[in-house]
Chains A and B, each alone.
Chain A
Amino acid sequence: MTKRVVSFRLGDHEVDVLVSPLTTLQTVLRYQLGETSVKEGCRQGGCGSCTVLVDGEPTPSCLLPVEDVAGHRVETVATMTPGDGLDPVQQAFIDHLGFQCGYCTPGMVVIARALLAREPAPTRERIAEAISGNVCRCTGYEPILDAIEAAAASPGTAGASAPAVRGSAGLAHEAAGAAEATR
Protein backbone atom coordinates (compact mmCIF):
# COMPACT_ATOMS: atom_id res chain seq x y z
CA MET A 1 0.00 0.00 0.00
CA THR A 2 1.50 3.26 -1.16
CA LYS A 3 0.46 6.56 0.28
CA ARG A 4 0.07 9.37 -2.14
CA VAL A 5 0.12 13.16 -1.99
CA VAL A 6 -3.10 14.76 -3.21
CA SER A 7 -3.37 18.50 -3.84
CA PHE A 8 -6.64 20.39 -4.02
CA ARG A 9 -8.06 23.79 -3.19
CA LEU A 10 -9.88 24.18 0.11
CA GLY A 11 -11.65 27.52 0.02
CA ASP A 12 -8.94 29.95 -1.01
CA HIS A 13 -6.01 27.78 0.04
CA GLU A 14 -4.03 25.08 -1.72
CA VAL A 15 -3.68 22.01 0.46
CA ASP A 16 -1.52 18.90 0.10
CA VAL A 17 -2.47 15.78 1.99
CA LEU A 18 -0.77 12.40 2.28
CA VAL A 19 -3.41 9.68 2.07
CA SER A 20 -3.90 5.94 1.91
CA PRO A 21 -5.73 4.59 -1.15
CA LEU A 22 -9.47 5.31 -1.24
CA THR A 23 -9.47 7.68 1.75
CA THR A 24 -12.65 9.72 1.55
CA LEU A 25 -12.76 13.48 1.26
CA GLN A 26 -14.83 13.51 4.46
CA THR A 27 -12.10 11.75 6.43
CA VAL A 28 -9.43 14.07 5.09
CA LEU A 29 -11.39 17.24 5.76
CA ARG A 30 -12.45 16.36 9.27
CA TYR A 31 -9.54 14.33 10.61
CA GLN A 32 -6.52 15.56 8.66
CA LEU A 33 -7.40 19.19 8.00
CA GLY A 34 -9.43 19.90 11.12
CA GLU A 35 -12.54 20.97 9.21
CA THR A 36 -14.85 19.82 11.99
CA SER A 37 -17.86 21.43 10.30
CA VAL A 38 -17.80 18.39 8.02
CA LYS A 39 -19.61 15.80 10.13
CA GLU A 40 -19.25 12.05 9.99
CA GLY A 41 -22.77 10.73 9.76
CA CYS A 42 -24.00 7.61 8.00
CA ARG A 43 -21.03 7.22 5.61
CA GLN A 44 -23.61 5.98 3.08
CA GLY A 45 -24.46 9.24 1.31
CA GLY A 46 -27.83 9.12 3.00
CA CYS A 47 -27.78 11.76 5.73
CA GLY A 48 -26.19 14.85 4.18
CA SER A 49 -24.21 15.83 7.27
CA CYS A 50 -20.91 15.68 5.33
CA THR A 51 -22.16 17.73 2.36
CA VAL A 52 -19.54 20.01 0.84
CA LEU A 53 -19.26 21.82 -2.47
CA VAL A 54 -16.86 20.40 -5.07
CA ASP A 55 -16.45 22.90 -7.89
CA GLY A 56 -19.64 24.49 -6.61
CA GLU A 57 -21.70 21.28 -6.70
CA PRO A 58 -23.15 19.80 -3.49
CA THR A 59 -21.44 16.48 -2.88
CA PRO A 60 -21.54 13.82 -0.14
CA SER A 61 -17.88 13.90 0.88
CA CYS A 62 -18.13 10.44 2.50
CA LEU A 63 -18.58 8.80 -0.92
CA LEU A 64 -15.78 10.58 -2.73
CA PRO A 65 -12.19 9.29 -2.70
CA VAL A 66 -10.01 12.32 -2.11
CA GLU A 67 -7.78 11.16 -4.97
CA ASP A 68 -10.63 12.12 -7.30
CA VAL A 69 -10.65 15.64 -5.89
CA ALA A 70 -7.06 16.37 -6.94
CA GLY A 71 -6.96 19.70 -8.71
CA HIS A 72 -10.54 20.63 -7.77
CA ARG A 73 -11.97 23.20 -5.37
CA VAL A 74 -13.70 22.17 -2.17
CA GLU A 75 -15.80 24.48 0.00
CA THR A 76 -17.20 23.74 3.44
CA VAL A 77 -19.51 25.82 5.57
CA ALA A 78 -16.39 27.02 7.37
CA THR A 79 -14.59 28.19 4.25
CA MET A 80 -17.79 29.90 3.07
CA THR A 81 -18.28 31.86 6.28
CA PRO A 82 -17.30 35.51 5.93
CA GLY A 83 -14.37 36.60 8.09
CA ASP A 84 -16.39 39.31 9.80
CA GLY A 85 -19.50 37.41 10.87
CA LEU A 86 -22.20 35.26 9.33
CA ASP A 87 -23.78 35.20 5.91
CA PRO A 88 -27.57 35.65 5.51
CA VAL A 89 -28.24 31.91 5.38
CA GLN A 90 -26.41 31.30 8.65
CA GLN A 91 -28.12 34.28 10.29
CA ALA A 92 -31.52 33.03 9.10
CA PHE A 93 -30.91 29.62 10.70
CA ILE A 94 -30.33 31.44 14.01
CA ASP A 95 -33.28 33.81 13.61
CA HIS A 96 -35.71 30.98 12.77
CA LEU A 97 -34.33 28.33 15.18
CA GLY A 98 -33.34 26.20 12.22
CA PHE A 99 -31.35 23.83 14.41
CA GLN A 100 -31.33 22.24 17.83
CA CYS A 101 -28.43 19.82 18.26
CA GLY A 102 -26.71 21.36 15.23
CA TYR A 103 -25.30 18.18 13.75
CA CYS A 104 -27.06 18.58 10.41
CA THR A 105 -26.58 22.35 10.25
CA PRO A 106 -23.31 22.60 8.29
CA GLY A 107 -24.67 20.33 5.56
CA MET A 108 -28.01 22.15 5.59
CA VAL A 109 -26.32 25.53 5.21
CA VAL A 110 -24.10 24.25 2.40
CA ILE A 111 -27.03 22.85 0.41
CA ALA A 112 -29.19 25.91 1.12
CA ARG A 113 -26.49 28.23 -0.16
CA ALA A 114 -25.99 26.09 -3.25
CA LEU A 115 -29.74 26.22 -3.92
CA LEU A 116 -30.02 29.98 -3.45
CA ALA A 117 -26.98 30.56 -5.64
CA ARG A 118 -28.87 28.84 -8.47
CA GLU A 119 -32.46 29.76 -7.65
CA PRO A 120 -32.74 33.02 -5.72
CA ALA A 121 -36.46 32.59 -4.99
CA PRO A 122 -37.30 28.88 -4.66
CA THR A 123 -40.76 27.73 -3.59
CA ARG A 124 -41.10 25.97 -0.24
CA GLU A 125 -41.64 22.69 -2.12
CA ARG A 126 -38.48 23.25 -4.12
CA ILE A 127 -36.51 23.92 -0.94
CA ALA A 128 -37.88 20.71 0.58
CA GLU A 129 -36.80 18.74 -2.49
CA ALA A 130 -33.33 20.30 -2.39
CA ILE A 131 -32.73 19.41 1.27
CA SER A 132 -34.34 15.97 0.97
CA GLY A 133 -30.91 14.35 1.25
CA ASN A 134 -30.12 16.18 4.50
CA VAL A 135 -31.55 14.47 7.54
CA CYS A 136 -32.53 16.44 10.68
CA ARG A 137 -33.82 14.49 13.67
CA CYS A 138 -34.55 17.53 15.87
CA THR A 139 -36.53 20.25 14.17
CA GLY A 140 -39.15 18.49 12.09
CA TYR A 141 -37.76 20.52 9.17
CA GLU A 142 -40.34 23.34 9.29
CA PRO A 143 -37.99 25.84 11.00
CA ILE A 144 -35.30 24.93 8.46
CA LEU A 145 -37.67 25.64 5.58
CA ASP A 146 -38.60 28.92 7.31
CA ALA A 147 -34.92 29.85 7.59
CA ILE A 148 -34.10 29.13 3.96
CA GLU A 149 -37.18 31.01 2.78
CA ALA A 150 -36.19 33.97 4.90
CA ALA A 151 -32.61 33.83 3.63
CA ALA A 152 -33.92 33.83 0.05
CA ALA A 153 -35.87 37.02 0.79
CA SER A 154 -32.91 38.64 2.58
CA PRO A 155 -30.95 41.30 0.70
CA GLY A 156 -27.43 40.20 -0.06
CA THR A 157 -28.11 36.48 -0.26
CA ALA A 158 -28.00 36.20 -4.04
CA GLY A 159 -24.39 37.30 -4.23
CA ALA A 160 -23.35 35.47 -1.08
CA SER A 161 -21.98 32.47 -2.91
CA ALA A 162 -20.54 32.46 -6.38
CA PRO A 163 -22.92 30.30 -8.40
CA ALA A 164 -21.34 27.37 -10.16
CA VAL A 165 -21.68 27.31 -13.91
CA ARG A 166 -24.47 24.89 -14.79
CA GLY A 167 -23.10 21.91 -16.61
CA SER A 168 -19.63 22.71 -15.41
CA ALA A 169 -16.87 20.28 -16.15
CA GLY A 170 -17.30 18.33 -12.95
CA LEU A 171 -14.98 15.87 -11.35
CA ALA A 172 -14.31 13.85 -14.44
CA HIS A 173 -12.12 16.44 -16.02
CA GLU A 174 -8.73 16.38 -14.55
CA ALA A 175 -7.16 19.65 -13.58
CA ALA A 176 -3.46 20.34 -13.76
CA GLY A 177 -2.78 19.52 -10.11
CA ALA A 178 -4.02 15.99 -10.31
CA ALA A 179 -1.30 14.47 -12.44
CA GLU A 180 1.44 16.07 -10.40
CA ALA A 181 -0.05 14.82 -7.19
CA THR A 182 0.04 11.22 -8.32
CA ARG A 183 3.71 11.16 -9.25
Chain B
Amino acid sequence: MTVLEYLQPESLDEAIALLGRHGADLLVMAGGTVAMPLVNEGISLPERVMGLRRAGLDHIARRDGELRIGATATLGRVLEAAIDASDVPLLADAIRSTGSWAVRNLGTIGGNLFTPPPGGDVAVALLALGARVRLAGPGGERDIALEDFFTGYLATALAPDELVAEVIVPLNARRAAFRKLGRKAANTPAVVTVAITLRQDDGRTHDARIALGAVGPHPFRATAAEAALEGRALDGATIEAAARAAAEASRPVDDPIASAWYRRRMVEVIVRRVLESLA
Protein backbone atom coordinates (compact mmCIF):
# COMPACT_ATOMS: atom_id res chain seq x y z
CA MET B 1 0.00 0.00 0.00
CA THR B 2 1.18 3.48 -0.77
CA VAL B 3 1.04 6.42 1.57
CA LEU B 4 -1.61 8.68 0.05
CA GLU B 5 -0.85 11.80 2.00
CA TYR B 6 1.74 13.24 4.38
CA LEU B 7 0.04 15.92 6.44
CA GLN B 8 2.17 18.68 7.94
CA PRO B 9 -0.02 20.84 10.20
CA GLU B 10 1.42 24.20 11.17
CA SER B 11 -0.31 24.57 14.52
CA LEU B 12 -1.60 22.42 17.35
CA ASP B 13 -5.18 23.37 16.47
CA GLU B 14 -4.69 22.30 12.87
CA ALA B 15 -3.14 19.01 14.03
CA ILE B 16 -6.10 18.29 16.33
CA ALA B 17 -8.55 19.11 13.53
CA LEU B 18 -6.75 16.76 11.12
CA LEU B 19 -6.76 14.04 13.77
CA GLY B 20 -10.50 14.55 14.22
CA ARG B 21 -11.11 14.34 10.49
CA HIS B 22 -9.04 11.21 9.83
CA GLY B 23 -9.37 9.47 13.18
CA ALA B 24 -7.67 6.21 13.98
CA ASP B 25 -6.49 5.72 10.38
CA LEU B 26 -4.00 8.53 10.83
CA LEU B 27 -0.46 7.62 11.86
CA VAL B 28 0.78 10.47 14.05
CA MET B 29 4.51 10.98 13.96
CA ALA B 30 6.86 13.35 15.75
CA GLY B 31 10.57 12.59 15.19
CA GLY B 32 9.89 9.42 13.22
CA THR B 33 12.46 7.27 15.02
CA VAL B 34 9.80 4.73 15.98
CA ALA B 35 7.28 5.15 13.17
CA MET B 36 9.56 5.46 10.14
CA PRO B 37 11.37 2.13 10.70
CA LEU B 38 7.95 0.43 10.77
CA VAL B 39 6.89 2.20 7.59
CA ASN B 40 10.22 1.48 5.86
CA GLU B 41 9.91 -2.22 6.72
CA GLY B 42 6.30 -2.40 5.59
CA ILE B 43 5.19 -3.44 9.09
CA SER B 44 3.06 -0.33 9.28
CA LEU B 45 1.11 0.50 6.12
CA PRO B 46 -0.65 3.79 6.82
CA GLU B 47 -2.62 5.61 4.15
CA ARG B 48 -2.19 8.91 5.90
CA VAL B 49 0.64 10.11 8.10
CA MET B 50 0.68 13.33 10.10
CA GLY B 51 4.09 14.78 10.95
CA LEU B 52 4.18 17.25 13.83
CA ARG B 53 7.53 18.87 13.05
CA ARG B 54 5.96 22.16 11.98
CA ALA B 55 3.11 22.25 14.47
CA GLY B 56 4.89 24.77 16.72
CA LEU B 57 5.30 22.32 19.60
CA ASP B 58 9.06 22.46 20.02
CA HIS B 59 9.47 25.13 22.72
CA ILE B 60 11.66 24.65 25.79
CA ALA B 61 10.84 27.26 28.44
CA ARG B 62 11.25 27.82 32.16
CA ARG B 63 8.17 29.27 33.77
CA ASP B 64 6.73 29.29 37.31
CA GLY B 65 9.25 26.82 38.68
CA GLU B 66 8.74 24.36 35.85
CA LEU B 67 10.52 23.34 32.70
CA ARG B 68 7.96 23.15 29.92
CA ILE B 69 9.05 21.11 26.95
CA GLY B 70 7.01 21.06 23.76
CA ALA B 71 6.22 17.50 22.68
CA THR B 72 8.28 17.74 19.49
CA ALA B 73 11.40 19.30 21.02
CA THR B 74 14.17 16.95 19.95
CA LEU B 75 16.14 15.03 22.54
CA GLY B 76 19.23 16.77 21.20
CA ARG B 77 17.82 20.20 22.00
CA VAL B 78 16.49 19.14 25.41
CA LEU B 79 19.94 17.77 26.20
CA GLU B 80 21.47 21.15 25.47
CA ALA B 81 18.90 22.82 27.71
CA ALA B 82 19.37 20.34 30.57
CA ILE B 83 23.09 19.72 30.42
CA ASP B 84 24.14 22.43 32.87
CA ALA B 85 20.84 22.79 34.74
CA SER B 86 21.30 21.64 38.34
CA ASP B 87 17.57 22.01 39.00
CA VAL B 88 16.77 19.49 36.25
CA PRO B 89 18.82 16.46 37.25
CA LEU B 90 18.67 13.09 35.48
CA LEU B 91 17.39 14.43 32.18
CA ALA B 92 20.78 15.00 30.56
CA ASP B 93 22.05 11.59 31.71
CA ALA B 94 18.91 9.88 30.44
CA ILE B 95 19.04 11.58 27.04
CA ARG B 96 22.76 10.87 26.61
CA SER B 97 22.00 7.19 27.21
CA THR B 98 19.28 7.16 24.55
CA GLY B 99 19.99 6.30 20.92
CA SER B 100 22.82 7.76 18.91
CA TRP B 101 23.69 11.41 18.40
CA ALA B 102 21.97 11.46 14.99
CA VAL B 103 18.86 9.66 16.27
CA ARG B 104 18.61 12.14 19.16
CA ASN B 105 18.50 14.92 16.57
CA LEU B 106 15.21 13.44 15.32
CA GLY B 107 13.71 11.74 18.39
CA THR B 108 11.48 13.93 20.56
CA ILE B 109 10.57 14.17 24.23
CA GLY B 110 6.91 13.46 23.44
CA GLY B 111 7.74 10.57 21.15
CA ASN B 112 9.88 8.97 23.83
CA LEU B 113 6.69 8.44 25.88
CA PHE B 114 5.41 6.16 23.09
CA THR B 115 8.62 4.18 22.65
CA PRO B 116 8.02 0.61 23.76
CA PRO B 117 10.37 -1.11 26.22
CA PRO B 118 13.30 -1.63 26.28
CA GLY B 119 13.24 1.94 24.87
CA GLY B 120 11.79 4.96 26.60
CA ASP B 121 14.71 5.75 28.91
CA VAL B 122 13.91 9.46 29.02
CA ALA B 123 10.42 8.67 30.25
CA VAL B 124 11.97 6.78 33.18
CA ALA B 125 13.86 9.91 34.22
CA LEU B 126 10.72 12.02 33.75
CA LEU B 127 8.79 9.66 36.05
CA ALA B 128 11.38 10.05 38.81
CA LEU B 129 11.30 13.81 38.32
CA GLY B 130 7.54 13.94 38.85
CA ALA B 131 6.74 15.17 35.36
CA ARG B 132 3.25 15.58 34.02
CA VAL B 133 1.94 15.53 30.48
CA ARG B 134 -0.33 18.11 28.88
CA LEU B 135 -2.79 16.50 26.50
CA ALA B 136 -4.67 18.58 23.94
CA GLY B 137 -7.91 17.63 22.21
CA PRO B 138 -10.91 19.26 20.57
CA GLY B 139 -12.33 20.08 24.02
CA GLY B 140 -9.20 21.79 25.29
CA GLU B 141 -6.23 20.70 27.36
CA ARG B 142 -5.82 18.51 30.42
CA ASP B 143 -2.82 17.61 32.52
CA ILE B 144 -2.08 14.10 33.71
CA ALA B 145 0.72 12.77 35.92
CA LEU B 146 3.14 10.73 33.86
CA GLU B 147 2.58 7.63 36.03
CA ASP B 148 -1.12 7.80 35.13
CA PHE B 149 -0.35 8.33 31.44
CA PHE B 150 1.04 4.82 31.01
CA THR B 151 -1.70 2.19 31.12
CA GLY B 152 -0.13 -0.87 29.48
CA TYR B 153 2.15 -2.16 26.78
CA LEU B 154 1.85 0.37 23.92
CA ALA B 155 -1.20 1.75 25.74
CA THR B 156 -1.66 5.20 27.26
CA ALA B 157 -4.39 7.38 28.73
CA LEU B 158 -4.37 9.46 25.54
CA ALA B 159 -7.86 9.62 24.03
CA PRO B 160 -8.15 8.87 20.29
CA ASP B 161 -8.80 12.54 19.52
CA GLU B 162 -5.96 13.87 21.67
CA LEU B 163 -2.29 14.66 21.13
CA VAL B 164 0.53 15.09 23.63
CA ALA B 165 1.27 18.81 23.55
CA GLU B 166 3.80 19.31 26.33
CA VAL B 167 5.85 17.60 28.99
CA ILE B 168 6.14 19.63 32.20
CA VAL B 169 8.98 18.98 34.63
CA PRO B 170 8.96 20.56 38.11
CA LEU B 171 12.25 22.30 38.84
CA ASN B 172 13.73 21.37 42.17
CA ALA B 173 17.03 20.29 43.59
CA ARG B 174 16.02 16.90 44.96
CA ARG B 175 18.84 14.40 45.18
CA ALA B 176 18.80 12.34 42.05
CA ALA B 177 20.68 9.63 40.21
CA PHE B 178 20.22 7.71 36.95
CA ARG B 179 21.76 4.49 35.76
CA LYS B 180 21.06 2.53 32.62
CA LEU B 181 22.50 -0.93 32.30
CA GLY B 182 23.03 -1.99 28.71
CA ARG B 183 25.30 -4.37 26.88
CA LYS B 184 27.39 -1.52 25.45
CA ALA B 185 28.56 1.75 26.99
CA ALA B 186 26.54 3.93 24.61
CA ASN B 187 23.65 3.74 22.14
CA THR B 188 22.36 0.51 23.59
CA PRO B 189 18.97 -0.93 24.53
CA ALA B 190 18.40 -1.22 28.26
CA VAL B 191 18.69 -4.35 30.35
CA VAL B 192 17.23 -2.12 33.03
CA THR B 193 17.01 1.64 33.48
CA VAL B 194 16.78 3.13 36.98
CA ALA B 195 16.05 6.74 37.91
CA ILE B 196 15.65 7.80 41.53
CA THR B 197 14.95 11.13 43.21
CA LEU B 198 14.54 11.68 46.93
CA ARG B 199 14.66 14.27 49.69
CA GLN B 200 16.72 13.95 52.85
CA ASP B 201 16.01 15.65 56.19
CA ASP B 202 18.23 15.02 59.22
CA GLY B 203 19.62 11.94 57.56
CA ARG B 204 16.19 10.49 56.82
CA THR B 205 14.78 9.84 53.37
CA HIS B 206 11.42 11.22 52.28
CA ASP B 207 9.24 11.18 49.17
CA ALA B 208 11.50 8.89 47.18
CA ARG B 209 10.53 8.27 43.58
CA ILE B 210 12.02 5.11 42.13
CA ALA B 211 11.32 4.70 38.41
CA LEU B 212 12.20 1.60 36.41
CA GLY B 213 12.35 1.00 32.67
CA ALA B 214 12.72 -2.06 30.41
CA VAL B 215 11.44 -4.37 33.16
CA GLY B 216 7.70 -4.01 32.64
CA PRO B 217 5.16 -3.16 29.94
CA HIS B 218 5.96 0.54 30.40
CA PRO B 219 8.09 2.72 32.68
CA PHE B 220 6.68 2.53 36.21
CA ARG B 221 7.33 3.55 39.81
CA ALA B 222 8.31 0.84 42.28
CA THR B 223 6.07 2.15 45.05
CA ALA B 224 6.82 -0.65 47.54
CA ALA B 225 10.51 0.13 47.18
CA GLU B 226 9.78 3.82 47.73
CA ALA B 227 7.83 2.98 50.89
CA ALA B 228 10.78 0.93 52.18
CA LEU B 229 12.86 4.11 52.22
CA GLU B 230 10.35 6.50 53.80
CA GLY B 231 11.55 8.03 57.03
CA ARG B 232 14.64 5.84 57.21
CA ALA B 233 18.34 6.47 56.92
CA LEU B 234 19.89 5.24 53.66
CA ASP B 235 21.83 2.46 55.37
CA GLY B 236 22.76 -0.91 53.98
CA ALA B 237 19.74 -2.81 55.29
CA THR B 238 17.26 -0.18 54.09
CA ILE B 239 18.85 -0.07 50.65
CA GLU B 240 18.76 -3.88 50.42
CA ALA B 241 15.08 -3.94 51.34
CA ALA B 242 14.22 -1.30 48.73
CA ALA B 243 16.29 -3.04 46.03
CA ARG B 244 14.54 -6.35 46.72
CA ALA B 245 11.13 -4.69 46.63
CA ALA B 246 11.99 -3.10 43.27
CA ALA B 247 12.99 -6.48 41.85
CA GLU B 248 9.74 -8.03 43.10
CA ALA B 249 7.73 -5.24 41.45
CA SER B 250 9.37 -5.86 38.08
CA ARG B 251 7.64 -7.75 35.32
CA PRO B 252 10.43 -8.27 32.81
CA VAL B 253 10.24 -10.37 29.65
CA ASP B 254 12.82 -12.30 27.65
CA ASP B 255 14.03 -10.49 24.58
CA PRO B 256 17.22 -10.49 22.49
CA ILE B 257 18.81 -8.01 24.91
CA ALA B 258 18.45 -10.01 28.11
CA SER B 259 16.41 -12.73 29.77
CA ALA B 260 13.67 -11.90 32.24
CA TRP B 261 15.66 -13.75 34.94
CA TYR B 262 18.75 -11.62 34.36
CA ARG B 263 16.75 -8.42 34.17
CA ARG B 264 15.10 -9.05 37.54
CA ARG B 265 18.49 -9.80 39.13
CA MET B 266 19.88 -6.59 37.65
CA VAL B 267 16.98 -4.50 38.97
CA GLU B 268 18.09 -5.41 42.48
CA VAL B 269 21.76 -4.73 41.73
CA ILE B 270 21.29 -1.42 39.91
CA VAL B 271 18.69 -0.02 42.34
CA ARG B 272 21.10 -0.88 45.19
CA ARG B 273 24.01 0.83 43.45
CA VAL B 274 22.00 3.94 42.58
CA LEU B 275 20.77 4.25 46.18
CA GLU B 276 24.32 3.75 47.47
CA SER B 277 25.43 6.62 45.25
CA LEU B 278 22.82 8.80 46.98
CA ALA B 279 23.67 7.67 50.52
Contacts and interface: CB of A to CB of B under 8 A. Distances in A.
B105 interface: yes
A9 B34 CA distance: 27
Interface residues of B, number: 39
Interface string A41-70: 001111010010010011110111101100
Most chain B CB within a 10 A radius of its CB, from A20, A45, A65: A45
Interface string A162-183: 0000110011111000100010
A12 interface: no
Nearest to A168: B77
Given A1-B4, A2-B5, A22-B3, A133 B40 contact: no
B186 interface: yes
Contacts of A128: 185-186
14 contacts: A1-B3, A1-B4, A20-B3, A22-B49, A24-B40, A54-B105, A60-B103, A63-B37, A65-B32, A114-B101, A129-B187, A132-B185, A167-B77, A170-B58
B53 A51 contact: no
B interface: dominant SS: loop
Given A170-B77, A174-B54, A182 B8 contact: yes
Given A1-B4, A24-B40, A45-B33, A51 B102 contact: yes
B36 A63 contact: yes
B202 interface: no
B102 A45 contact: yes
Interface string B41-71: 1000000010101101110000000000000
Given A45-B37, A64-B32, A172-B53, A130 B101 contact: yes
Contacts of A134: 100
Contacts of B56: 172
Interface of A: 1-2, 20-22, 24, 43-46, 48, 51, 54, 57-60, 62-65, 67-68, 111, 114, 128-130, 132-134, 166-167, 170-174, 178, 182
Given A22-B3, A24-B40, A166-B80, A111 B187 contact: no
Given A167-B80, A174-B10, A43 B100 contact: no
Nearest to B105: A57
A31 to B, nearest CB: 14
Interface of B: 2-6, 8, 10, 31-33, 36-37, 39-41, 49, 51, 53-54, 56-58, 72, 74, 76-77, 80-81, 99-103, 105-106, 184-187
B103 A133 contact: yes
A1 B32 CA distance: 21
Given A1-B2, A1-B5, A20-B2, A43 B41 contact: yes
Contact of B36 (A62, A132, A133): A62
Nearest to B5: A21
A44 to B, nearest CB: 4
Given A48-B102, A63-B37, A132-B184, A68 B3 contact: no
A58 B257 CA distance: 27
A65 B54 contact: no
A22 B74 CA distance: 20
Given A1-B4, A21-B5, A132-B184, 15 more contacts: A1-B5, A20-B3, A24-B40, A45-B36, A48-B102, A60-B106, A63-B37, A64-B106, A65-B51, A129-B186, A133-B101, A133-B187, A134-B100, A167-B81, A172-B72
